[in-house]
Amino acid sequence: MELTYTEEQQAFRQEIRTWLKANVPSEPLKSFDTEEGFQQHREWEAKLYEGRWGMITWPEEMGGRGADLLQWLIFEEEYYAARAPLRVNQNGIFLLGPTLMEYGTEEQKKRFLNGMATGKDIWCQGWSEPNAGSDMAAIRSRADLSEDGSHYIINGQKTWSTRAVWADWCFGMFRTDPESSRHKGLTFILVPLDSEGITVRPIPQLDGLPGFAEIFFDNVKVPVDCRLGGEGEGWSVAMATAGFERGLMLRSPARFQETAKRLVELYKANREEADQDPAIRDAVIRAYLDAEAYALTTYQTACRLMQGGKIGAEASTNKIFWSELDQRMHATALKILGARAELLPHAPNAGDVGTWLDGWLFSQSGPIYAGTNEIQRNIIAERLLGMPRK
């Protein structure tokens, strides 16, 4: 691992910076948990695609730039520094896209990747079910193959599907062998959400917006060519997707470095009040150092992967670290703001409260999504430390 950038990498950074300066909207987009904001973010995905910045690590023939992981980290640093819009199609681009490249047929790649890249098709996950949240192996939703083998008939329910309210497609696992249990007899299927028999019911978040949804399947017919991987091999495909989610791509270090910089700015602007509690200054320093440490660790991991290494159960340590760091940073910001922390940005006398409250609310979900931190700690104990299951 080199701790300096090459001339090529520096030129790449400048190219990104120039494009973002010319194209990032001057006014923040509305929340993609609103219908209007969702459309705005879909259009932003299209603009990124036109600039060939939508999914830079994808191969050039698929609309990407064939960028390596270090270039991706550089891109993310510039993206967050420019305070560009959050990505509404991250489930597709960062999770399903890489899974399709690994498990999809050539026909499936041609069929799905372009729509995903342009923002035409926004994807949501269909993982959790009632009584099968973190324990995905307990899912019960059924997908029965038709007698002629042309399609599946899906019945069941998914829940906590992020951005499913306005998404176009859902990917998830369904039980195709009714006699199976746990990890066996599961199949990974891609489902168009406008299919007959699907009902999407919004679930309000803490802020009242429908960031999540339940998806009900009532005899939904899905062509068999929407199956990703072999029948009954869904667990292996899903674990690949989960690896992308918990590993490097879902939450880049730049996201937390930028939050840490904003936290330092907030502390400086309110230092007189904040220093009345010495613990706040220590928390700000720790947040900044932790964000930098996470970035260096990620650069190290990226270098190892580029040299042929793999990321396995180690991804669980990443997921725990960034999710709990995010909570600490936002909690510290609320302490600095004091009583004003509960004000929304447009409230009278809100001053510099910014979006810290929104960020704090979202950070509470970090230890839950992408597999709860309790499950991640079990993985670390068993697979990294070799501890017994009981």
Q: Does 379 lie in the same domain as 324? A: yes
pLDDT at 282: 97
Tell me phi and psi for residue 178, to 5 degrees. -65, -20
Q: Which of 237, 266, 293 is the last residue in one of the domains?
A: 237
Q: Does 73 lie in the same domain as 11? A: yes
Q: Does 232 lie in the same domain as 258? A: no
**Residue 110 CB-density burial (10 A; 0-12 exposed, 13-18 middle, 19+ buried):** exposed
Domain count, the chain: 3
Q: Does 82 lie in the same domain as 161? A: no
3-state secondary structure of 199: strand
Q: Does 224 lie in the same domain as 329? A: no
Give the closest residue to 108 by CA, choosing from 49, 190, 168, 192. 190
Which residues face 220 on adjacent strands? 154
3-state secondary structure of 161: coil
Q: Which of 37, 60, 87 is the last residue in one of the domains?
A: 87
Which residues face 212 on adjacent strands? 203
Q: Does 376 lie in the same domain as 281? A: yes
Q: What is the chain's alpha carbon radius of gyration, rounded to the nearest angstrom?
A: 22
DSSP 126: E
**Is residue 21 a part of any domain in this protein?**
yes
Which one of the listed residues 76, 77, 245, 258 is annotated catalytic? 245
Segments forming the whole domain that contains residue 356: 251-385
How are the residues of the chain apportioned to helix, strand and coil, as percentages rounded to the nearest 5? 50, 15, 35
Contact 205, 157 (CB under 8 A): no
Largest CA distance in the chain: 74
pLDDT at 247: 63
**Is residue 92 a part of any domain in this protein?**
no
Domain containing 198 — which CATH number? 2.40.110.10
**How far is the CA of 52 from the CAs of 58, 108, 214, 236, in angstroms?**
10, 21, 34, 31
| Residues 90, 370: Cα–Cα separation, whole Å | 13
**Residue 197 CB-density burial (10 A; 0-12 exposed, 13-18 middle, 19+ buried):** middle
Contact 336, 266 (CB under 8 A): yes
Q: Does 198 lie in the same domain as 151? A: yes
pLDDT at 183: 84
Active-site annotation holds for 245: yes
CA 31, 32, 33, 38 torsion-angle sign: positive
**Is residue 261 a part of any domain in this protein?**
yes
| Residues 49, 390: Cα–Cα separation, whole Å | 49
**Is residue 161 a part of any domain in this protein?**
yes
**How far is the CA of 145 from the CAs of 129, 174, 187, 371, in angstroms?**
21, 11, 11, 29
**Is residue 118 a part of any domain in this protein?**
no
Q: Does 152 lie in the same domain as 80? A: no
- Looking at residue 266, its amino acid is L
pLDDT at 287: 97
**What are all long-range contacts of 377-383, with beta carbons under 8 Å and residues at least 24 apart?**
377/316, 377/320, 379/313, 379/316, 380/313, 380/316, 380/317, 380/320, 383/312, 383/313
**Is residue 97 a part of any domain in this protein?**
no
Q: Does 369 lie in the same domain as 272? A: yes
3-state secondary structure of 264: helix
Contact 191, 220 (CB under 8 A): yes
Q: Does 369 lie in the same domain as 285? A: yes
Characterize 301-322 residue by residue with b for buried, 16 or more Cβ atoms within 10 angstroms of its Cβ, and e for exposed. bbeeeeeeeebebbbbbbbbbb
pLDDT at 62: 83
pLDDT at 82: 96
**Is residue 115 a part of any domain in this protein?**
no
Q: Which of 206, 237, 268 is the last residue in one of the domains?
A: 237
Q: Does 191 lie in the same domain as 299? A: no
| Residues 309, 152: Cα–Cα separation, whole Å | 38
**Is residue 337 a part of any domain in this protein?**
yes
Q: Does 283 lie in the same domain as 227? A: no
Residues of the chain with pLDDT under 70: 1-2, 134, 244-247
Proportion of the chain above pLDDT 90, given as a percent = 68
pLDDT at 245: 64
pLDDT at 15: 97
- Using CA atoms of 46, 52, 54, 59 in order, give the dihedral in degrees to the nearest 10: 130
Strand 227-228 vs strand 186-192: parallel, antiparallel, or unpaired? antiparallel
Domain containing 271 — which CATH number? 1.20.140.10
